[in-house]
């Protein structure tokens, strides 16, 4: 079990804490599966259809009612004008039919059931009007009685006399979605045409409905009494209240449309995508408009398999995008994708009569995004631990924090970086060690190293290694910093000052003093993890590193404390004080380099130090021009200012040597170092 767990950890959390394709895909697939499972829940489906309804409502804010359909509403104004109790006498409906026929109505559809006999005279009058009109469609309805042992379906038909007189009989029932919203219509019920289908079949060029047609999403024309032209019942039977020709050649639906159902035997309104309450007669009219214009909302994702495939497709695209983006950018991409998908679904629904699911795919993408974000977070935490573990002991805390804030700036593999390198070494450390016990030496060096590292880390140095009593640090890596030459020079001066302070303390305590040599050089180095795949450390290698080490040793030749290379000096000469020491060719290198002794920060020289530098500079110019006498006079002048200036003494001796035995004609003023 432990081995399986370890394999899983290595698979998902590799040592380098990078996002690899296969673990990412595994985590993404798990997130998508969770999202799709959530998308199949009832709540998610309700949200999906609620969004569909909202899109339908927005799309029909500015309705364009069909020109060939009219609803005659049995509404409150009609009750007020006619002053009759419900049910109204059937002779009144006969009068309505006569008025509609006189107005030229093409088809008259009653969304009313005439199943029970009333006054025989009224029934006969209605039958006469229906027969005379020849274009009346009457309603039937199916009632379902359900018990534990059985389910009984029973049809309620119009009176035989009325059914025989009617041009057609259509089913009035409508399917309701599980959330109680009427979104779909059918052409047939148990093989019988619905009211809308029966009316549509009477229009030229429209085929009779086929039994077994699946429910279709109705393309609603607008809100109640806005999407379909609607007039009140009383306006039709009372002459002169409506414009002439308002029903000519049109399909006229007659039905109840009351705000309060208490006036009728039962409620006849439904919740639809465009309204909380829409009269059933208006729903039939919208279904007819959908059938006639063949603009039912296509629903290719009604089957769960199609919806699943759509969710997986969206999630696959999201996974591809998230894999290539940073988490912060991924959030923006996710939100942008959600908006784009919603907008595309709206356009598809309103312009192309196509329903495109949004909530399910977004839940799949959300599951994906959540899982991969959590996975990236886990990798990020592992990376933070690795960075902290790798650098906390030899990198300035400010740099470690910067790495943790933005690990992308850190490259642990080999990378060419411009750095400034410092090498230090203690002069006479062997003799010091001989005078102390091992424990005393350890305490002395510990105090020395701590003091020096405090100074170096304050200047954002990175410790490469301790080599005996030597220190190697560099600036400008692992994080780039354009100020690395200045940081190195400030650190070198501060280290010498701090060592002077320590020597005072050690002298009082009877401990030996320490003298430190420093070499500084700037150049391009390869920075990164070096070693094997299991044992490695972050370091730098390159020619500039080697030269920095050589410059530290050159201090012994000239009796100096801090030497900087030409590349470093070219970057800092305006901020620091130094003197050019010589042109040298270090052992193992063919090209000569100029070297400089670092004195202080700009403006930090005393008058005597400035005079010493100037006199030494004069002597160096004469020396390179092979004017040995003039050079010797200048170096004597420098020694007069500071009798213990080793470089002046060294050059004075060289002048005497060359005056007695001149160099060859190809002498270029370069001093060749014989030791490292």
pLDDT at 552 over 60: yes
Q: Which of 30-39, 64-73, 651-660 has the lowest mean pLDDT?
A: 30-39
Using pLDDT thresholds of 50, 70 and 90, give the confidence band for residue 262: very low
Q: Is 461 left (phi over 0), alpha (psi -120 to 50) or beta?
A: beta
What is the average pLDDT score of the chain?
A: 87
Lowest mean pLDDT segment, chosen from 226-235, 239-248, 376-385: 376-385
- pLDDT band for position 659 (cuts 50, 70, 90): very high
What confidence tier does 249 reach under pLDDT thresholds 50, 70, 90? Answer: very high
Which sign does the torsion angle of CA 509, 511, 512, 518 carry? negative
Residue 312 pLDDT > 60: yes
User: What is the distance, to the nearest Å, from the Cα of residue 70 to the centroid of all Cα atoms in its chain?
Assistant: 52
Question: How confident is the model over 291-302, as a mean pLDDT?
Answer: 90
Q: What is the pTM of this model?
A: 0.61
Per-residue pLDDT, 54: 94
Q: Are strands 415-427 and 470-475 parallel, antiparallel or unpaired?
A: antiparallel
Q: Above 60 in pLDDT, residue 11?
A: no
**Alpha carbon of 520 to those of 249, 415, 598: distances in Å?**
100, 21, 10
Copy the structure tokens of residue 27: 């985590």
Average pLDDT rounded to a whole number, residues 635-651 = 95
Q: Is the pLDDT of residue 211 over 90?
A: no
Look at residue 25 and tell me whether its pLDDT is greater than 60: yes
Separation CA 560–CA 635 (nearest Å): 16
Beta-bridged to residue 565, according to DSSP, are 595
Any residues with CB less than 8 A from the CB of 659 and at least 6 apart, and which? 628, 629, 632
Average pLDDT over residues 191-201: 92
CA–CA dist 562, 423 (Å, integer): 10
pLDDT tens digits along 326-358? 777 888 888 898 999 999 999 999 889 999 999
Predicted confidence (pLDDT) at residue 376 exceeds the cutoff of 80: no
Long-range contacts of 196-200 (CB under 8 A, 24+ apart): 196/170, 196/284, 196/285, 196/287, 196/288, 196/291, 197/170, 197/291, 198/109, 198/137, 198/168, 198/169, 198/170, 199/107, 199/109, 199/137, 199/168, 199/170, 199/251, 199/253, 199/288, 200/288, 200/291, 200/292
pLDDT for position 395: 57
107-116, 341-350, 430-439, 572-581: range with lowest mean pLDDT = 430-439
User: Among 475, 481, 485, 491, which residue's Cα sits nearest to residue 572?
Assistant: 485
Helices (H), 110-171: 120-133, 160-165
Look up residue 358 and give its two tokens.
Answer: 């949004």
Per-residue pLDDT at 631: 95
Rounded (to 5) percent helix, strand, coil in the chain: 50, 20, 30
Cβ–Cβ under 8 Å, residues 626 and 635: no
User: What letter does residue 194 receive in the DSSP assignment?
Assistant: B
Which is more confidently placed, 399 or 584?
584
| Tokens of residue 594, six digits | 């100029």
Closest CA to 159 of 129, 121, 118: 118
Specify the pLDDT at position 143. 80
Sign, CA torsion 381/386/392/394: negative
Q: Please report where in the chains the tokens 């119009």 appear, as a residue.
A: 158
Question: So what's the pLDDT on residue 471?
Answer: 95
**Run of H or E residues at 606:** none
- The pLDDT value recorded for residue 2 is 46
pLDDT of residue 265: 46
Band of pLDDT at residue 672, cut at 50, 70 and 90: confident
- Indicate left, alpha or beta for 190 from its phi (over 0: left) and psi (-120 to 50: alpha): left
Q: Residue 584's beta-bridge partner residues?
A: 593, 671
166-175, 355-364, 461-470, 532-541: range with lowest mean pLDDT? 532-541
Non-local (6+) Cβ contacts of 475 within 8 A are 419, 420, 421, 422, 459, 460, 461, 462, 481, 484, 485, 487, 488, 491
pLDDT-derived band at 36 (thresholds 50, 70, 90) equals: confident
Distance CA 116, CA 162 (A): 11
**CA 127, 132, 138: angle at the middle one, nearest 5?**
50
Q: What is the DSSP string of 291-327?
A: HHTT--BB-TT-SHHHHHHHHHHHHHHHHHHHHHS-H
468 Cβ partners below 8 Å, 6+ apart?
A: 429
Cis peptide before 309 (omega within 30 of 0): no
> What's the mean pLDDT in 465-489?
92
Q: Which residue has the higher pLDDT, 144 or 35?
A: 35
- List the one residue out of 289, 480, 504 whose CA is nearest residue 399: 480
* Residue keyed to tokens 């005497």: 656
pLDDT at 409 over 60: no
Q: What is the pLDDT of residues 116-158, one digit of tens each?
A: 999 999 999 999 999 999 999 999 998 877 767 677 788 999 9
On the question of pLDDT at 174 being above 90, the answer is no
- Residue 394, classed as helix, strand or coil, is coil
Share of the chain above pLDDT 70, in %: 87
What confidence tier does 263 reach under pLDDT thresholds 50, 70, 90?
very low
Alpha-helical (H) ranges within 325-437 are: 327-352, 359-391, 397-405, 429-435
Mean of the pLDDT values across residues 3-31?
64
- E strand residue ranges, 106-222: 107-110, 136-146, 151-156, 168-171, 184-185, 188-189, 192-193, 216-217
Amino acid 402: pLDDT: 59
Across 61-90, average pLDDT = 93
Tens digit of each residue's pLDDT (9 = 90 or more) over 280-296 = 999 999 999 999 998 89
Q: Indicate whether 51 pLDDT > 60.
A: yes
Do 94 and 126 touch, CB atoms closer than 8 A?
A: yes
Which stretch of DSSP H or E encloses residue 546? Answer: helix 543-558
For the residues 503-525, what does the mean pLDDT come to?
94
Q: Report whether pLDDT(657) > 90.
A: yes
Q: Are strands 188-189 and 229-232 parallel, antiparallel or unpaired?
A: unpaired
Per-residue pLDDT averaged across 146-172, rounded? 87
Burial of residue 674 (CB within 10 Å: 0-12, 13-18, 19+) is exposed
pLDDT band with cut points at 50, 70 and 90 for residue 406: low
């Amino acid at each position: 079990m432990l081995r399986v767990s370890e394999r899983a950890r290595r698979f998902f959390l590799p040592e380098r804490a990078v996002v690899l394709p296969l673990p990412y895909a595994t985590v993404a697939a798990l997130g998508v599966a969770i999202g799709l499972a959530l998308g199949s829940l009832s709540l998610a489906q309700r949200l999906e259809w609620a969004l569909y309804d909202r899109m339908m409502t927005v799309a029909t804010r500015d309705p364009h009612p069909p020109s060939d359909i009219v609803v005659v509403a049995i509404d409150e104004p009609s009750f007020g004008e006619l002053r009759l109790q419900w049910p109204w006498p059937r002779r009144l409906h006969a009068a309505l039919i006569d008025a509609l026929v006189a107005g030229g109505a093409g088809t008259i559809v009653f969304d009313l059931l005439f199943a029970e006999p009333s006054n025989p005279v009224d029934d006969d009058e209605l039958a006469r009007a229906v027969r005379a009109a020849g274009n009346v469609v009457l309603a039937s309805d199916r009632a379902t009685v359900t018990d534990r042992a059985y389910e009984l379906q029973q049809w309620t038909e119009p009176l035989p006399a009325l059914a025989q007189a009617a041009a057609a009989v259509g089913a009035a029932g409508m399917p309701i979605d599980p959330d109680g919203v009427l979104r779909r219509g059918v052409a047939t019920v148990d093989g019988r045409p619905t009211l809308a289908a029966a009316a549509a079949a009477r229009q030229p060029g429209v085929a009779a409905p086929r039994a077994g047609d699946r429910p279709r999403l109705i393309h609603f024309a607008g809100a109640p009494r806005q999407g379909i032209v609607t007039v009140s019942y009383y306006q039709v039977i009372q002459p002169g209240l409506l414009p002439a020709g308002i029903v000519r050649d049109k399909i006229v639906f007659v039905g109840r449309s009351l705000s309060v159902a208490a006036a009728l035997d039962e409620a006849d309104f439904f919740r639809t995508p465009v309204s909380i309450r829409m009269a059933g007669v208006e729903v039939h009219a919208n279904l007819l408009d959908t059938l006639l214009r063949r603009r039912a909302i296509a629903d290719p994702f009604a089957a769960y398999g199609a919806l699943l495939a759509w969710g997986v497709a969206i999630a696959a695209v999201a996974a591809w995008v998230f894999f290539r983006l940073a988490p912060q950018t991924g959030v923006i991409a996710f939100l942008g994708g959600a908006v784009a998908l919603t907008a595309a679904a709206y356009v598809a629904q309103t312009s192309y009569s196509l329903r495109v699911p949004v909530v399910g795919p977004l839940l799949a993408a959300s599951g994906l995004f959540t899982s991969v974000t959590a996975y990236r977070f886990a990798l990020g935490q592992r990376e933070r631990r690795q960075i902290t573990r790798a650098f906390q002991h030899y990198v300035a805390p400010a740099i470690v924090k910067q790495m943790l804030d933005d690990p992308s700036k850190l490259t642990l593999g080999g990378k060419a970086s411009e750095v400034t390198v410092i090498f230090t070494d203690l002069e006479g450390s062997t003799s010091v060690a001989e005078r102390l016990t091992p424990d005393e030496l350890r305490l002395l060096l510990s105090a020395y190293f701590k003091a020096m590292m405090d100074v170096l880390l304050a200047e954002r140095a990175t410790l490469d290694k301790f080599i005996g009593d030597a220190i190697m640090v560099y600036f400008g890596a692992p994080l780039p910093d354009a100020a690395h030459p200045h940081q190195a020079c400030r650190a070198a001066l501060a280290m010498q000052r701090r060592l002077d302070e320590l020597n005072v303390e050690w002298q009082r305590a009877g401990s030996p003093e320490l003298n430190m040599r420093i070499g500084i050089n700037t150049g391009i180095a390869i920075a990164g993890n070096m070693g094997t795949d299991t044992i490695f450390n972050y370091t730098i290698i390159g020619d500039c590193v080697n030269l920095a080490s050589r410059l530290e040793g050159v201090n012994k030749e000239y009796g100096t404390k801090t030497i900087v290379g030409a590349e470093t000096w070219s970057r800092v000469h305006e901020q620091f004080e130094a003197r050019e020491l010589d042109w040298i060719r270090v052992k193992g290198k063919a090209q000569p380099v100029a070297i400089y002794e670092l004195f202080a920060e700009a403006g930090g020289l005393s008058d005597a130090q400035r005079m010493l530098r100037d006199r030494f500079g004069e002597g160096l110019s004469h020396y390179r021009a092979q004017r040995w006498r003039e050079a010797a006079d200048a170096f004597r002048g420098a020694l007069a200012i500071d009798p213990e200036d080793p470089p002046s003494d060294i050059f004075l001796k060289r002048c005497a040597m060359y005056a007695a035995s001149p160099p060859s004609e190809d002498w270029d003023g370069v001093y060749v170092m014989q030791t490292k």
